[in-house]
Copies of this chain bind each other. A is one copy, B any other.
Amino acid sequence: MKTRLFTPGPTPVPEPVMLRMAQPIIHHRTDEFRDVIRRVSDNLKYLFCTAQPVLTLTSSGTGAMEAAIVNTLSAGDELVFVNGGKFGERWGEIAQAYGLTPHQLAVPWGTAATPQQILEMLAQHPATRAVCLTHSETSTGVFTDVQAITAALRQQGYPGLVMVDGITAVGAHEMRFDDWDIDVVVTGSQKGLMIPPGLAFIALSQRAWEFNQTSTLPKFYFNLAEARDSLKADDTPWTPAITLMLGLDEALQMIRHEGVENVWARHGRLAAALRAGALALGLRLFASPSSNAVTSITLPEHGGAFMKLLKEQYRVTVAAGQESLKGKIFRVSHLGYYDEADMLSILFAIESALSDIGHQHPEGAGLAAAQGVFNQAARQRQGGA
């Protein structure tokens, strides 16, 4: 039986990527592989909208978050982070593990920090050397406007770093690393990049590289200056995850072919359709503002039975709530290799499971609402053409 994956990491892997990774393996210290590194590097810059090198690490996204901290800061440094979900919280945990002084801005899970709140934190903690944000908080489905926050900070003359966990945002949301004057962005492979987990990516601004020169936290495997120097020779300090790099090469070419702005727009369109469909079925959305990578929906009554039906009867895998949100929400991914028809698939499964548990709703309302969004978007594109 056919099964469908709607989780915000891993996300579905395109068939050309799977087949590329299934070829006989090649050695990494060869001209053939150096060509791959060169092309990947160029396309990652395109995706991040940056002229800075984007470094590839063999690790999960968390490894890149740790790399961000240990390569720019020193023990005792003050840092502000937003705890609005499990991944925002992680910035604070890493800071703690390395003997920094983290100041937490706690916002209710399901909501985002505003520029004003961040400025207030800075006013309270003027020695802050880094502000750590989460562009799309995977655990809640919340979008944080990192562009606006960074602009507000820069306007106040903030000389420190802005670090962005873009793990589920890169590819789903506009991210103009250089233009927005952000200092660190990290992402992971099993997200908007559409390949299996195992790689993480990190870009540092000129300002972040300057911080790197005085950073005294210990680092070896995650030493980014080494990675940057190796990359100049199309190489990596340690053996790279070769097959994942080959898959990445394929996936990045797909993104470049579609065009990054079209990729962002597609994510916006799919997210809007899914949200419209869920609302039309009488469900409630959990997050505000909503991420274009993942939509969090409040579980209906008989949530356990509903989740079981989705998985077993309708063969779709969605993500459950994590930590305090366990049993309260479910999360549907539209991050990566998805199109319009995929949103119809998941809305059909959701509506079917709702009917099975006796939930009242107008038949077909979910599909109709989604189709409405798609048709309107198509008309706008035609009008604009």
Which residue in B21, B30, B218 is a CB contact (below 8 Å) of A97? B218
Query: What chain B residues lie within 8 Å of A7 (beta carbons)?
Result: 27
Query: What chain B residues lie within 8 Å of A237 (beta carbons)?
Result: 62
Residues of chain A at the chain B interface (Cβ within 8 Å): 3, 5, 7, 9-10, 12-13, 18-19, 21-30, 58-63, 66, 93-94, 97-99, 188, 190, 196-198, 217-223, 237-244, 317, 319-320
Least distance between A315 CB and chain B CB atoms (Å) = 12
A58 and B58 contacting across the interface, CB-CB below 8 Å: yes
Task: Provide the bound-state CA to CA distance between A63 and B57, in Å.
Answer: 11
For the A-B complex with A10-B239, A18-B22 known, give 16 more contacts whose Cβ atoms are closer than 8 Å. Answer: A10-B25, A10-B26, A10-B242, A18-B24, A19-B22, A25-B196, A26-B317, A30-B317, A58-B60, A59-B221, A97-B220, A98-B218, A196-B242, A197-B240, A217-B218, A241-B244
Least distance between A369 CB and chain B CB atoms (Å) = 27
Which residue in B5, B63, B242, B319 is a CB contact (below 8 Å) of A238? B63
Query: What chain B residues lie within 8 Å of A59 (beta carbons)?
Result: 58-59, 63, 221, 238
Query: DSSP class of A's interface residues: helix, strand, loop or mixed?
Result: loop
B198 and A58 contacting across the interface, CB-CB below 8 Å: yes
Residue of B nearest to A218 (CB): B98
Task: Provide the bound-state CA to CA distance between A320 and B220, in Å.
Answer: 25
Least distance between A62 CB and chain B CB atoms (Å) = 5
Query: What chain B residues lie within 8 Å of A221 (beta carbons)?
Result: 59-60, 62-63, 66, 222
B9 and A25 contacting across the interface, CB-CB below 8 Å: no
Residue of B nearest to A67 (CB): B221
- Given A93-B220, A220-B94, A190 contacting B27 (CB threshold 8 A): no
- Counting chain B CB atoms within 10 Å of each CB, the highest count among A62, A98, A222, A238 belongs to A238
A21 and B24 contacting across the interface, CB-CB below 8 Å: no
